[in-house]
Amino acid sequence: MDLLVILILLGVGYFIGNRRERQHYADIKRREKQTLHVPIMSWGAKQDLPYAHESQMFVGSVVVANDYFKTFSAGLRNLVGGRVTVYETLIDRGRREAMLRLKESAIEWGASQVLNVRFETSNIAGQSQGGMGAVEVMAYGTGIR
Amino acid sequence: MKYVPREIVDEVNVTPVHPLVNFGYLVGTVVLATLAIYVGLGVVGAQLATRMGPEAEGKIGNVIFENVFSSMSLTTEGTDYEYLETLADSLKSDALKQRPDLKLHILEESAPNAMVSAGGYIYVTQGLLDNVESENELAFVLAHELGHYEHRDNLSSIGRSLVLLSLNSALSASGVRLPSFLTGSMGLANLHYSRDQEQKADVYALEIMNARYGHVDHTLDFFKRLNEDELDLGIADQLLEWQSTHPLTESRIEYLEDLATSRGWAIEGAPTELPNRQ
Ligand SMILES: [Zn+2]
């Protein structure tokens, strides 16, 4: 009985999770192409920033949830060690989505470049034992025009 | 320098492995490792059971006692107890004298039963004491348990747990403790023996009976009574309980009677009375 529940959760996690992941990646790639014309620049502390009339802080943030299949795979991975490949896509999607949201709001404002972008991640878990949770990825940077 | 936008084409941050392949690999590895450990523990456990020294055996016995039996209502005093202890000690074979001393306990339990656990812990229920009618009957039950003890059946029956327990007592000197789910009460009270083990314990007991009383009469009366009472519902329960740990079936009784005949042991003799009890 317990095994059946686990198998159902795994199946739901795998099929739905995988489908959404593929859709999300397709969406990310499309939007990345659209926003490609605005460069993301990083400058050192002692370098002069490019000249700008106006500047504004932009924040893009996203919360991506884990699915049971990923949790289970990662749990098994914990036993043997090594790359947690199932989480790589999760985090990758989070970073790119956050960056896209930042860029899209900067483009709407009319930015020509976005400077010194930083990432923050935080774990939204702990409500339940067993590690089912979500990860928040936030990107922030200075848009100039 | 002019900025030329370029599309990201290669996914450096994502390992190109299908999640199901990854999953299959993980499940396979874990299952194989578990299987290897399980089989390995079984092999090592069986070896340990036959080779364990008295000191290590005593330690393991104490741990099992603490974990499983110490919470039951036990009696270790009174005239019944002293009588039982003397009786049990007198039934030890020479080989048993090299093993940890017997630690007898009377279990406050109405179903007749007796068991021996690692390290010489012997448990006799009050129900058994109330149901036996002669010393011969009681001595046979005790000797049968001692037979299991001498043949180390009680050690092999806990098999895999034995390895973990030994490891734990070896490591505890250095301050390392195994997680408690590995050394907990899991399987420690497992005292189920194979037919072969039961038969060897029976033979041990019968040999001792012959040496002690000069005959083997009355030793099996207790079991015969239990078998006859099978239809009586009140006893049937107790019988089931007894048989679940020590099935002394007709065939085993017959085997013992044949054995006594073939070895030329006296089949008839007077029963030895139990000391007067209130
Ligand atoms: Zn037995």
A86/B22 CB distance under 8 A: yes
Looking at the complex, report in whole angstroms how far the Cα of residue B255 sits from the nearest Cα belonging to chain A.
45
Is B98 touching A (CB cutoff 8 A)? no
Tokens representing residue B77 in the block: 């005093």
pLDDT, position A110:
93
* Percent of the residues in chain B that have a pLDDT greater than 90, as a whole number: 2
In a domain, B276, yes or no: no
B68 has a pLDDT exceeding 80 = no
In a domain, B35, yes or no: yes
- pLDDT band (50, 70, 90) for residue A120: very high
Q: Using CB atoms, which residue from B5, B8, B22 is nearest to A73?
A: B22
Q: Which residues of B10-40 are buried (b: 16+ CB within 10 A; e: fewer)?
A: eeeeeeeeebeebbebbeeeeeeeeeeeeee
Tokens 């036996």 belong to B132
In a domain, B245, yes or no: yes
B23/A32 CB distance under 8 A: no
The interface predicted TM-score of the complex, written ipTM, equals: 0.76
In a domain, B13, yes or no: no
A97 has a pLDDT exceeding 90 = yes
pLDDT, position B278:
43
A1 has a pLDDT exceeding 60 = yes
Number of structural domains chain A divides into: 1
| Cα B278 from Cα B266, distance rounded (Å) | 32
A83/B5 CB distance under 8 A: no
B256 has a pLDDT exceeding 80 = yes
B73 has a pLDDT exceeding 90 = no
Which helix (H) or strand (E) covers residue B225, if one does? helix B221-228
Number of structural domains chain B divides into: 1
pLDDT, position A63:
92
The sheet that has A55-65: what strands, in order across it? A40-41, A113-124, A134-144, A55-65
pLDDT, position B233:
47
In a domain, B242, yes or no: yes
Q: Whole-prediction pTM value?
A: 0.62
pLDDT tens track for A9-39: 889 889 999 999 999 999 999 999 999 999 9
Q: Which backbone phi and psi does B17 adopt, to 5 degrees?
A: -135, 135
pLDDT tens track for B185-239: 455 656 667 778 888 888 888 888 888 888 888 888 887 777 665 544 444 555 5
Q: Which of A59-68, B39-48, B111-120, B253-262 has the highest mean pLDDT?
A: A59-68
8 A C-beta contact, residue B51 and residue B105: no
B153 has a pLDDT exceeding 90 = no
* Percent of the residues in chain A that have a pLDDT greater than 90, as a whole number: 52
| Average pLDDT along chain B | 78
| CATH number of the domain encompassing residue A120 | 3.30.110.70
Q: Which domain holds residue B101?
A: 19-262
Using a CB-CB distance cutoff of 8 angstroms, which residues of chain B are in contact with residue A77?
26
- pLDDT band (50, 70, 90) for residue B277: low
In a domain, B249, yes or no: yes
| Cα B84 from Cα B142, distance rounded (Å) | 9
In a domain, B8, yes or no: no
The whole-number average pLDDT for the span B55-71 is: 81
pLDDT tens track for A37-90: 999 988 888 888 888 899 999 999 999 988 888 888 888 888 888 888 888 999
- pLDDT band (50, 70, 90) for residue A125: low
The whole-number average pLDDT for the span B23-48 is: 86
pLDDT, position B239:
53
pLDDT, position A126:
59
If you measure from the C-alpha of residue B148 to the centroid of ligand 1, how many angstroms do you get, rounded to a whole number? 6
CA closest to B3 among chain A residues? A39
CA closest to A11 among chain B residues? B20
Cβ under 8 Å to B: A residues 44-83: 69, 72-73, 76-77, 79-80, 83
Question: How far is the first Cα of chain B from the last one, in angstroms, to the nearest whole number?
Answer: 109
Beta-strand relationship, B114-117 and B121-125: antiparallel
pLDDT, position A112:
92
A99 has a pLDDT exceeding 90 = yes
pLDDT, position A92:
92
Using a CB-CB distance cutoff of 8 angstroms, which residues of chain A are in contact with residue B32?
none
Q: Which domain holds residue A38?
A: 2-144
In a domain, B268, yes or no: no
